[in-house]
Structure 1
Amino acid sequence: MTVTHTNRVVCLHAQDDLRLETRTAETPGPGEVLVAVMAGGICGSDLHYWLEGGIGTIRVREPIILGHEAAGRIAALGAGVAGLSVGQLVAMNPSHPCGACEFCQQGLERHCTAMKFKGSAMYLPHQQGMFRDRMVIGAGQCHPLPAGIAPGAAACAEPLAVCLHAARRAEDVSGPLTGKTVLVTGAGPIGALCIAVARQRGAATILVTDIQDATLAVARRMGADHAINTRTDPEGLAPWRKGKGQVDLVFECSAAAPAIADAVSCLRPLGTLVQVGVAGPTALPLNVMVGKEILFVGSQRFDVEFAEAVQLIGSGAIDPRPMITGTYPLEQAQAAFDAARDRARSVKVQIEFAAASGPDDSEMTA
């Protein structure tokens, strides 16, 4: 017998119009699974959709379920699914490239021209996201984690994958991180995880800058050796500006012009600046960048790094939990979003869903 149930979702209807709604639950088809969501992280893009009604030229044009960082337990399997079992904790990859466009054919799936990315308003219809009690998703987008891993940690696989891809971009142009002096500008979730990746890959010294003491304290717990508040200590980077700069590699995670200027001033000649943070048009100190022959590298999302992120979290090689500064039940989704926008007290805020407290009478069973 199949038990049907309703499904609560966090749905954005327009700028500053966030609603907790009830929908009819889906049933997995061939090659799909039903996941009982346990934890979902609020990303900067979710905040932009909520606060501004979009990101740059991308606008919310119809109701959209937000969220693309989530983990949960398999509740049901569709026909033909192998390698997954009911009850398994999985992290869900929000990316589903088409596999057929020119970029997919070149192995550059992150640049897919028909990408289906959960919780994205780029195309119509919008791709509905992961902030819901239960969701159907392709089995290939589900990556199992071992027993004992916290769902909140598993839900950090997506932002960790972004940082692993940034590290790979750096290594492609300037070699391994081992022994390097690394500066991370911006101590939000991506900055915190870039610190963890740099630590895991053997960086000798890791610096981090931000304008909030609370986020810098989290950055230290994630592995930073030096945390500098550039607002209260504008000369804090002076030791790394000496000569022509003392830093080998920068992960720029803020997209703020002053932080980029600080980064360039600290980079040694032929150093590498990996731009991870994004915003609108941003001023760059091109004269200094050219004079130092700085390598400027953009980093866009991730490809195979999602599986690597799951492996690192599952093995305990990277523990993202120190950056989780708040967890709210789904009923308090609005409060969770309010907390997430407050950088003076929050790094990564997560929403906890019904499955987090264990099975209930609305589980699907066969």
Structure 2
Amino acid sequence: MLVTQENLAVVAHGKGDLRLDALPEPTPAADEAVLAIAYGGVCGSDLHYWMHGAAGESILRDPLVLGHEIVGTVLLAAADGSGPSVGQRVAVHPATPGDDGETPFPDDRPNLSPAGTYLGSAARIPHTQGAFARRVALPSRMLRVLPEGLDLKLASLAEPAAVAWHGVGQAGDVRGKRVLVIGAGPIGALVVAVLKHHGAGEIIASDLHELPLAVATELGASRVIDARDPDAIAGVHADVVIESSGTVPGLASAIRGAGRGGRVVMLGLQRSGEVPALLSLAITRELTLVGSFRFADEIDAVIEALADRSLVVDAVLTHEFPVEQALDAFAVAGDASRSSKVLLSFDPEDHGSPEERGAS
């Protein structure tokens, strides 16, 4: 395995302290492959670790390599013969389910396992290091070989699209239904795309900013609503609402926008602790409120749909920066009025000027 560039990584050292660190070359276990990372998508949790030193109840206590939305190429195959071979292009399923031996959870829902870990997460000590680095060693079971013809840049959306796919799945059969999406950031935009793929009858998206609403329209939303217009949201009477903002006002809008007997999927992660909600309205309308957390194996269906182009998500990709400009990338990703999904490029041969494609 010949390498010529230092193993540059994006590391959160504390609140407001994001650094580019040179890591040692990865030393893989027998069941691990070494990947050359091509692209990594900046997620909301990455932004929270940078801006707040925590993502929900996951508090940063030690330096953490960020990143879990990643694709790359196998540089060194796993020594035990498992997983893909050298040269194969892969996406990554970043979860490791874990049973704590005490807390019950459904066997068919590994995303709910109580002792599970996720790449780039400070939920446990020691932290689970992420993969925003030029070269990383990862268990071969995490790797999903990409079909021929599926572009690596597009495949970088497989992980967040799987989150959206799982959230839509929590809504049940959406064919022919009127669906309201609260929050049209990267996950909400991907929800719109998945709803289009799944045959929703009418898709309405709300947000505070013009750019995410334009992205949602390009991905299949039939109309959009300014999130500051509660009367317009209340007038939707949606069969299904998918709350993707993870905000208290967003949750209130989701309940207001749901029709009687409707279903509200809480996909956006709310702040920790008690959160106010319009429960009297949910009760009198007999709404069904259901949570959605990460995903199980939906990433496999997403990769197939991306490859055959039945799932169209291109408009979500608005910016690309070389890893050396990670601080700039995070600043842009943290401004919802300027960006949807921001990618980091780890390929030293692809470090031109940042690509910015407006979604207007």
- After TM superposition, the score normalised by the length of structure 2 is 0.91
Q: Do 1:28 and 1:77's aligned partners in 2 also have CA atoms closer than 8 Å? A: no
Question: Structure 2 matches for 1:203-352, cutoff 5 A?
Answer: 203-231=200-228, 233=229, 235-237=231-233, 239-240=235-236, 246-280=237-271, 281-352=274-345
Deviation at 1:238, TM superposition (A): 5.9
2:261 alignment partner AA:
L
Alignment deviations for residues 47-93 of structure 1 (CA, whole Å, 9 cap, x no partner):
11100000233211001100110001111102122452222211111
CA distance in structure 1 between the aligned counterparts of 2:19 and 2:131, rounded to whole angstroms: 14
Corresponding residue of 2:171: 170
Corresponding residue of 1:190: 187
Q: Do 1:32 and 1:81's aligned partners in 2 also have CA atoms closer than 8 Å? A: no
Cα distance change of structure 1 residues 6 and 236 upon mapping to structure 2, 3 Å threshold: same
Deviation at 1:310, TM superposition (A): 1.8
Gaps of 5+ in 2: 352-360
Q: Kindly indicate whether structure 1 or structure 2 has the higher relative contact order, using CA contacts under 8 Å at least 6 residues apart.
A: 1
Corresponding residue of 1:181: 178
Corresponding residue of 2:69: 69
Deviation at 1:268, TM superposition (A): 1.7
CA distance in structure 1 between the aligned counterparts of 2:106 and 2:264, rounded to whole angstroms: 28
Cα distance change of structure 1 residues 105 and 275 upon mapping to structure 2, 3 Å threshold: closer
Deviation at 1:198, TM superposition (A): 0.7
Alignment deviations for residues 184-232 of structure 1 (CA, whole Å, 9 cap, x no partner):
000011100111111111001000000101110011111111111133x
Q: Do 1:187 and 1:216's aligned partners in 2 also have CA atoms closer than 8 Å? A: yes
Q: Do 2:33 and 2:77's aligned partners in 1 also have CA atoms closer than 8 Å? A: yes
Cα distance change of structure 1 residues 290 and 164 upon mapping to structure 2, 3 Å threshold: same
Cα distance change of structure 1 residues 134 and 289 upon mapping to structure 2, 3 Å threshold: same
Deviation at 1:127, TM superposition (A): 0.6
Alignment deviations for residues 137-180 of structure 1 (CA, whole Å, 9 cap, x no partner):
01110001122322222111111111111122211xxxx11100
Q: Do 1:38 and 1:71's aligned partners in 2 also have CA atoms closer than 8 Å? A: yes
CA distance in structure 1 between the aligned counterparts of 2:127 and 2:21, rounded to whole angstroms: 17
Gaps of 5+ in 1: 241-245, 359-366
Alignment deviations for residues 112-139 of structure 1 (CA, whole Å, 9 cap, x no partner):
2221210000111111101000111011
Cα distance change of structure 1 residues 79 and 98 upon mapping to structure 2, 3 Å threshold: same
Q: The residue matched to 1:236 in structure 2 has which SS?
A: helix
Residue 152 (structure 2) pairs with residue 151 (structure 1): yes
1:289 alignment partner AA:
A
CA distance in structure 2 between the aligned counterparts of 1:56 and 1:162, rounded to whole angstroms: 17
Q: The residue matched to 1:354 in structure 2 has which SS?
A: coil
Cα distance change of structure 1 residues 170 and 234 upon mapping to structure 2, 3 Å threshold: closer
Q: Do 1:183 and 1:250's aligned partners in 2 also have CA atoms closer than 8 Å? A: yes
Deviation at 1:3, TM superposition (A): 5.7
Residue 95 (structure 2) pairs with residue 95 (structure 1): yes
**More displaced 10-residue stretch of structure 1: 273-282 or 40-49:** 273-282
Deviation at 1:98, TM superposition (A): 2.9
CA distance in structure 1 between the aligned counterparts of 2:138 and 2:349, rounded to whole angstroms: 19
Equivalenced residue count is: 348
Deviation at 1:234, TM superposition (A): 5.1
Corresponding residue of 1:121: 122
Corresponding residue of 1:80: 80
2:275 alignment partner AA:
T
Corresponding residue of 1:45: 45
CA distance in structure 2 between the aligned counterparts of 1:112 and 1:224, rounded to whole angstroms: 34
Q: The residue matched to 1:33 in structure 2 has which SS?
A: strand
Q: Do 2:77 and 2:83's aligned partners in 1 also have CA atoms closer than 8 Å? A: no
Alignment deviations for residues 313-357 of structure 1 (CA, whole Å, 9 cap, x no partner):
222221322111110001100000000011111111110002674
- Which residue of the other structure, out of 193, 199, 204, is the alignment partner of 1:202? 199
- After TM superposition, the score normalised by the length of structure 1 is 0.90
Corresponding residue of 1:364: none
Superposition CA RMSD, Å: 2.0
Q: The residue matched to 2:51 in structure 1 has which SS?
A: helix
CA distance in structure 1 between the aligned counterparts of 2:242 and 2:117, rounded to whole angstroms: 27
Alignment deviations for residues 32-61 of structure 1 (CA, whole Å, 9 cap, x no partner):
111100000011111111000002332110
1:252 alignment partner AA:
E
CA distance in structure 1 between the aligned counterparts of 2:223 and 2:181, rounded to whole angstroms: 10
CA distance in structure 1 between the aligned counterparts of 2:277 and 2:203, rounded to whole angstroms: 23
Q: Do 1:74 and 1:86's aligned partners in 2 also have CA atoms closer than 8 Å? A: yes
CA distance in structure 2 between the aligned counterparts of 1:294 and 1:300, rounded to whole angstroms: 20
Give the share of equivalent positions with the same residue, in percent: 36
CA distance in structure 2 between the aligned counterparts of 1:21 and 1:182, rounded to whole angstroms: 44
Deviation at 1:236, TM superposition (A): 3.5
Corresponding residue of 2:357: none
